[in-house]
């Protein structure tokens, strides 16, 4: 019987305690951040420097090594490259190193990307990095694929053609060189004989 | 006492219609305010800001919600029992709405001043349970059925303590007429029943503890009758999805929703009438008293208890079915019966 | 007046039993879990959990992944305690490759793992309260969790799936104001916990709802290989941090919290949750000690191996996750990809005990018992 009344009083008391807590909170400062109007992350630099949001590829700085493509755990990066040819002249990437590959396609599929930052780690020239943009969307799945290469199709085709043409030239040159070498060798052998 | 509309335009059909419509005119804005209050108070208690987009600081949010509910598709499950399914929300709403027929708003306005007011409220209060069972059964959904069954058990068991409270007040007031009960308590604040009632002398202090207990008993049972937390087990969303209104959408759901809020006002008004002097001013008959102030006091006090209900909702967890029964039958009912007997005895020797 | 809920006699009632599907789209199954339950009125007579709605072939996938690429996938197992998830895998690979990580890295790992434990327990208690119908403590706890996630974001760059513990070190160094922020977090966590103890755990209604509900005896818990708060709530003092101290846990002074008979019965839902509440306090203590002992200088990336290629062999490495023991059995063939990676998922093992302990209770109790086990479906289904 004592426990019965004790339980009732305890129940009543704990409910009162709870009601006092919620009443206190009724007049406390609110913590909600009104998102589009007040958005600390960008305005005040609240978003940390290493925050992992939308990726960006500085294609002038990309040497087309394909490291990001290999290191991506979800295969969201597609890199297509073609070799440079001597007729392109001496070209470098932004950071000064010699460019040996034209990047014809560097596509990131954001619908697949898991923002793990492994591609950023693997990039030797820091061409791929995270931006602070995170709210992007599209009406179609294909709109979330972003190709960072700005060459037109003709330019790409031209680069491919250049390469193919250079391959043929090089083949001939190689063949000629080989023939010359062999001839020289034969001549040398003749001489030693 | 009486009805100023009849005084104004005579006893004709227009007057009758006006009297019917006045509570509805009250319920709709009240429901909007109460929904806003629920959203905002709930948010503030949780350190949030609540809805902020519609109107200034989100004050139009309930309007937006009603508009949303109006344009939503009205879905009826194919295997539902259609007549019952469609009828249920209206019956639930009628149950809440009918109680307004006898709720006084002020000295001069009560839609129907019958002298069995408390009994009428008690009777139509159990009307809603039929609608809930109909809705739960006709939905042909197991969750709805569970919710409906829980609701029946709950409302029936909590009507008994509530009935004992009504009985105690009727004993001391000698009437079931709400206007008379309020008139009994008019005058200074200590004439209210929670402070011992209008009688003077030392015996008044003997009354106080029993009235306070009855007040708490009725507050708890009113929460159970309106299906509010901690007694929202018929619709406990974490257990049985949404209980008896799982399958309802659009306007029919809005009817259930509105009935809940209307019921909140009804039980709050009953608390105010029984214990806190109804429309009478706390400063006695000389200050801020009169028919217009009466409306202010009546609605204001009732709104305070609506606030208490909202407050409790955002504080407490939910009871379980057997604990609900335990509380109803083994705690509230013995307490209320004991208080009733004590009050009856005291009233006799007074 | 001893109250009993469980002793119901249906011998005389001739009624039909109802089969009810709780989930996969149910408000409180904590994800896409389906419980097929059999009801006798409101009493649960049988429970069959159906899992696999979130199956992602984690283990098979890992065989196609280089070791660093596995870590983002491991994040997605128990996605509310990602830091803890990464640790056993990283630790196992480091052991195979014989890498001794720097002192500072160990301390940072301990601090982050314990912070994540706090965040996880906050979610566990909060959602448990919400299952019981108390909505407000949920938001108080989430408000504090936000601070922890902010610190994680400032450190690793992500808020939930960190990819932060790397083989041989950490992805980034901690921010400059790290120590102050962490101490500040501890202060807030303690204040809120005290409030939640009064508002939720001490509330009579909540106590009545949870005490004597879902009693899991210690022997059953051990037989079902339960771990974490589920096991400790049953009174078994088993914590991998104490039992097999990995990393630098032997340097800290903390207690293993176990359930007691004080308010509830050993092994009931209330005890499982009070263990979580107490563990948050113990985590706070560990963090305080770790911050005091932590070296200030040092490169967190200096021990990164050039190529992660563990030698041929196998290892089982486990750590005390917030939810229990998470282990990885790793077979390496000398290449840059795991030959086989078997995970011992905590939630999956703990969920297995559910049908055992919730028969004879009501539907409302079933939801609470499920909440008290604290599962994450990402880990159950993998």
Distance from C-alpha of B256 to C-alpha of C95, rounded to nearest angstrom: 62
Averaged confidence pLDDT in chain B? 83
Same domain, B211 and B289: yes
pLDDT of B198 higher than 80: no
Q: What is the mean pLDDT of residues B9-28?
A: 78
Interval A19-40 mean pLDDT = 80
CA dihedral B326, B327, B332, B338 (to 10 degrees): 40
Instruction: Give the pLDDT confidence score for residue C105 in this predicted structure.
Output: 87
Domain housing B184:
72-349
| Closest C-chain CA to B312 | C134
Nearest CA in chain B to C17: B142
pLDDT in tens, A150-193: 777 787 788 788 888 888 888 888 888 888 888 888 888 888 77
Q: In terms of domains, do B217 and B267 share one?
A: yes
Based on the fold, state whether residues B311 and B167 are members of the same structural domain: yes
Interface of A with B in 85-124 (CB under 8 A): none
CB contact under 8 A, B236 and C129: no
Chain B interface disruption, residue of A13, A19, A38, most B CBs within 10 A: A19
The pLDDT of residue A41 is 53
Domains located in chain C, CATH noted: 58-381 (1.10.645.10)
Q: Pull the structure tokens for residue C294.
A: 């932590």
- Quote the pLDDT of residue C11: 55
User: What is the DSSP code string of A42-80?
Assistant: HHTS-S-TT---SEEE-TTT-----HHHHH-TT--EEEE
Tell me which H or E stretch contains A146. strand A145-147
> Domain check: are B251 and B300 in the same one?
yes
CB–CB contact A130 C199 (8 Å): no
Q: CB–CB of A25/B46 below 8 Å?
A: yes
d(CA C349, CA B274): 57
What residues 29-48 of chain B have any CB closer than 8 A to a CB of chain A?
Answer: 41, 43-48
Q: Are residues B238 and B108 in the same domain?
A: yes
Any A CB within 8 A of C172 CB: yes
One domain, residues B7 and B89 = no
- How far apart CA C104 and CA C297 sit, in angstroms, is 8
CA-to-CA distance for B17 and B23, rounded, in angstroms? 11
Under DSSP, the state recorded for A120 is H
3-state SS of B254-321?
HHHHHHHHHHHHHHHHHHHHHHCCCCCCCECCCCCCCHHHHHHHHHHHHHHHHHHHHHHHCCCCCCCH
Neighboring chain A residues of B49 at a CB cutoff of 8 Å: 30, 32, 34
Q: Which of B43, B71, B99 is the last residue of a domain?
A: B71
A 10 A CB-CB count for B288 gives 14
User: And the tokens for C336?
Assistant: 């840059």
Mutate one of B317, B323, B331 to test the C interface: name it (highest C CB count within 10 A).
Answer: B317
Do B318 and B211 sit in the same domain of this protein? yes
Say if the Cβ atoms of A34 and B52 lie within 8 Å: yes
What residue of B is the nearest CA neighbor of A6? B331
Q: How far is B243 from chain C (nearest CA, A)?
A: 12
CB-based contacts of C227, cutoff 8 Å, min separation 6: C238, C323, C324, C325, C346, C349, C350
Chain B to chain C, count of Cβ pairs less than 8 Å apart?
A: 79
Q: Any idea which of A55-59, A167-171, B113-117 has the lowest mean pLDDT?
A: B113-117
What chain B residue is nearest to A14 in terms of C-alpha separation? B316
ipTM field? 0.83
pLDDT number for residue A43: 43
Query: CB within 8 A of B71, min separation 6: which ones?
Result: none
Averaged pLDDT for residues A46-54: 78
Q: Are C279 and C121 in contact (CB under 8 A)?
A: yes
Q: Which residue has the higher pLDDT, B238 or C352?
A: C352
In this prediction, the residues of chain C whose per-residue pLDDT falls under 70 are: 1-15
What percent of chain B is predicted at pLDDT more than 70? 97
The string of pLDDT tens digits covering residues B172-191 is 888 888 888 888 887 777 77
C-chain residues near B320 (CB < 8 A): 208-209, 362, 364-365
- Which 29-68 residues of chain A touch chain B by CB within 8 A? 29-32, 34
Based on the fold, state whether residues B2 and B143 are members of the same structural domain.
Answer: no
The residue with greater pLDDT, C86 or B292, is C86
Both tokens assigned to B97: 């709405």
Q: Which residue of A has its CA nearest to B52?
A: A34
Closest CA to B272 of B309, B235, B326, B324: B309
C-beta neighbour count of B69 within 10 angstroms:
18
B323 in contact with chain A, both atoms CB, cutoff 8 A: no
Residue B236 and residue C209: Cβ atoms within 8 Å? no
Chain C CB contacts of A51 below 8 Å: 153, 157-158
* Residue B275 near residue B211, CB atoms below 8 Å: yes
CA distances from C286 to C118, C148, C195, C298, C346 (A): 11, 16, 22, 21, 23
**Mean pLDDT value across residues B337-345:** 87
* Secondary structure string (H, E, C) spanning C230-262: HHHHCCCCCCHHHHCCCCCHHHCCCCCCCCCCC
Sort out which chain A residues have CB atoms less than 8 A from C154's CB and list them. 48
Average pLDDT over residues B126-132: 83
Residues B223 and B207 in one domain: yes
- Best mutation target among C2, C178, C199, C200 (most A Cβ atoms within 10 Å) is C199
B18, B40, B71 — which closes off a domain?
B71
Looking at the structure, tell me whether residues B123 and B238 fall in a common domain. Answer: yes
Say whether B311 and A22 touch across the interface (CB within 8 A): yes
Q: Which of B71, B93, B116 is the last residue of a domain?
A: B71
Report CB contact under 8 Å: A14, C202: yes
- Establish, for the pair of chains A and C, how many residue pairs have beta carbons separated by less than 8 Å: 74
Smallest Cβ–Cβ distance between C198 and the set A21, A50, A51 belongs to A21
Residue A26: pLDDT band with limits 50, 70, 90: confident
| Same structural domain, B17 and B155 | no
Assess contact for C321 and C152: CB atoms under 8 A: no
Q: Determine whether B187 is exposed, middle or buried from the number of CB atoms within 10 Å of its CB (0-12, 13-18, 19+).
A: middle
Strand partners, A147: A107
Residues of C in CB contact (< 8 Å) with B are 3, 5, 18, 20, 26-28, 42, 129-136, 139-140, 143, 199-200, 203, 205-206, 208-209, 362-365, 367
Tell me how many residue pairs between chain A and chain B have CB atoms under 8 A apart.
39
Answer yes or no: do B184 and B275 share one domain: yes
E strands of chain C, at which residues?
18-22, 34-40, 43-50, 165-166, 169-170, 313-321, 324-332, 338-344
Q: How many CB atoms lie within 10 A of CB A127?
A: 25
Give the number of domains in chain B: 2
CA distance B22 to B19: 5
Q: How confident is the model at residue A44 (pLDDT cuts 50, 70, 90)?
A: very low
With CB atoms and an 8 Å threshold, state whether B44 touches A32. no
Query: Could you give the CA distance from residue B175 to residue B169 in angstroms, rounded to a whole number?
Result: 8
- CB contacts, 8 Å: A12 with chain B: 216
The CA distance from A174 to A155, in Å, is 27
Report, as an integer, the average pLDDT of B250-276. 86
Whether the per-residue pLDDT at B236 is higher than 80: the answer is: no
- What per-residue confidence (pLDDT) applies to C149? 86
- Checking if the pLDDT of B1 tops 50, the result is no
In angstroms, the Cα distances linking B57 to B30, B50, B178 are 19, 9, 39
Give the span between the Cα atoms of C145 and C189, in whole angstroms: 8
Chains that touch A (3 or more CB pairs under 8 A): B, C
Confidence of residue A42 (pLDDT cuts 50, 70, 90): very low
> For residue A37, what are its two tokens?
């109007």
Band (A40; pLDDT cuts 50, 70, 90): low
């Amino acid at each position: 019987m004592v426990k019965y009344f004790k339980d009732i009083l305890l129940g009543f008391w704990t409910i009162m305690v709870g009601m006092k807590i919620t009443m206190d909170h009724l007049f406390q400062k609110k913590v909600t951040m009104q998102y589009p109007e007040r958005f600390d992350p960008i305005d005040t630099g609240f978003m940390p420097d290493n925050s992992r949001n939308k990726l960006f590829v500085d294609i002038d700085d990309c040497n087309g090594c394909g490291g990001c493509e290999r290191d991506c755990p979800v295969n969201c990066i597609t890199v297509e490259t073609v070799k440079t040819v001597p007729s392109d002249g001496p070209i470098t990437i932004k950071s000064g190193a010699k460019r040996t590959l034209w990047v014809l396609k560097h596509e990131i599929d954001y619908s697949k990307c898991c923002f793990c930052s492994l591609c950023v780690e693997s990039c030797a020239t820091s061409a791929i990095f995270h931006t602070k943009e995170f709210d992007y969307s599209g009406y179609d799945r294909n709109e979330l694929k972003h190709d960072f290469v700005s060459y037109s199709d003709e330019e790409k085709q031209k680069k491919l053609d250049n390469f193919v043409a250079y391959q043929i030239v090089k083949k001939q040159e190689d063949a000629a060189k080989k023939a010359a070498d062999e001839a020289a060798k034969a001549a040398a052998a003749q001489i030693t004989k | 006492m009486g009805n100023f509309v009849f005084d104004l335009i005579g006893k004709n059909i227009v007057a009758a219609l006006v009297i019917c419509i006045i509570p509805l005119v009250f319920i709709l804005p009240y429901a909007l305010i109460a929904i806003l209050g629920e959203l905002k108070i709930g948010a503030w208690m949780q350190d949030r800001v609540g809805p902020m987009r519609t109107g200034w600081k989100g004050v139009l949010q309930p309007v937006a919600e009603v508009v949303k509910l109006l344009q939503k598709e009205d879905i009826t499950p194919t295997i539902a029992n259609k007549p019952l399914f469609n009828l249920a929300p209206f019956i639930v709403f009628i149950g809440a709405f009918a109680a307004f027929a006898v709720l006084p708003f002020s000295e001069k306005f009560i839609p129907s001043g019958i002298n069995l007011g408390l009994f009428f409220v008690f009777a139509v209060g159990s009307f809603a349970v039929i609608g809930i069972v109909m809705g739960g059964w006709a939905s042909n959904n197991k969750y709805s059925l569970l919710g409906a069954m829980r609701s029946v058990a709950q409302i029936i068991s909590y009507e008994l303590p509530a009935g004992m409270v009504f009985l105690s007040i009727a004993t001391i007031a000698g009437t079931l007429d709400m206007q008379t009960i309020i008139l009994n308590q008019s005058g200074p604040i200590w004439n209210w029943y929670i402070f011992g009632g209008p009688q003077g002398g030392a015996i008044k202090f003997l009354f106080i503890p029993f009235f306070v207990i009855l007040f708490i008993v009725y507050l708890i049972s009113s929460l159970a009758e309106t299906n509010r937390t901690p007694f929202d087990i018929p619709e406990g969303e974490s257990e049985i999805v949404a209980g008896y209104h799982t399958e309802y959408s659009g306007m029919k759901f809005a009817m259930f929703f509105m009935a809940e809020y209307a019921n909140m006002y009804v039980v709050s008004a009953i608390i105010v009438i029984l214990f806190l002097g109804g429309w009478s001013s706390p400063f006695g008959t000389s200050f801020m008293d009169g028919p217009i102030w009466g409306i202010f006091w009546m609605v204001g006090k009732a709104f305070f208890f609506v606030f208490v209900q909202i407050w409790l909702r955002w504080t407490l967890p939910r009871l379980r079915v057997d604990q609900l029964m335990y509380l109803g039958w083994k705690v509230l009912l013995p307490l209320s019966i004991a208080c009733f007997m004590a009050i009856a005895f005291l009233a006799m020797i007074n | 007046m001893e109250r009993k809920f469980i002793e119901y006699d249906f011998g005389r009632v001739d009624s039909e039993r109802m089969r009810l599907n709780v989930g996969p789209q149910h408000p409180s199954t904590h994800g896409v879990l389906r419980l097929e339950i059999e009801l006798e009125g409101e009493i649960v007579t049988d429970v069959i959990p159906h899992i696999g709605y979130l199956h992602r072939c984690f283990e098979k996938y890992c065989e196609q992944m280089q070791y660093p690429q596995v870590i983002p996938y491991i994040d997605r197992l128990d996605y509310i305690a990602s830091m803890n998830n990464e640790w056993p895998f990283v630790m196992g690979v480091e052991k195979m490759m014989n890498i001794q990580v720097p002192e500072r890295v160990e301390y940072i790992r301990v601090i982050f793992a314990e912070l994540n434990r706090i965040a996880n327990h906050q979610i566990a208690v909060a959602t448990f309260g919400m299952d019981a119908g108390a909505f407000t403590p949920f938001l108080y706890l989430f408000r504090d969790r936000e601070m922890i996630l902010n610190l994680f974001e400032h450190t690793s760059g992500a808020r939930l799936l960190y990819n932060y513990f790397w083989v041989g070190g950490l992805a980034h160094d901690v921010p400059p104001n790290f120590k102050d922020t962490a101490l500040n977090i501890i202060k807030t966590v303690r204040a809120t916990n005290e409030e939640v103890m009064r508002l939720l755990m001490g509330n009579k209604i909540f106590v009545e709802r949870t005490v004597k509900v879902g009693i899991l005896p210690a022997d059953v818990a051990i037989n079902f290989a339960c771990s974490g708060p589920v096991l400790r709530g049953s009174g078994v003092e088993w914590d991998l941090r104490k039992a097999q101290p990995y990393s630098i846990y032997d340097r800290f002074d903390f207690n293993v919290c176990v359930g007691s008979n004080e308010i509830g019965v050993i092994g009931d839902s209330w005890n499982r949750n009070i263990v979580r509440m107490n563990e948050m306090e113990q985590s706070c203590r560990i963090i305080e000690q770790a911050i005091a002992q932590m070296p200030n200088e040092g490169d967190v990336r200096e021990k990164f191996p050039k190529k992660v290629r563990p030698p041929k062999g196998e290892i089982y490495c486990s750590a005390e996750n917030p939810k229990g023991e998470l282990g990885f059995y790793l077979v390496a063939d000398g290449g840059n990809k795991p030959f086989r990676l078997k995970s011992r998922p905590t939630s999956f093992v703990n969920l297995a005990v559910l049908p055992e302990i919730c028969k004879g209770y009501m539907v409302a109790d079933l939801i609470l018992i499920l909440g008290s086990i604290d599962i994450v479906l990402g880990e159950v289904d993998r």
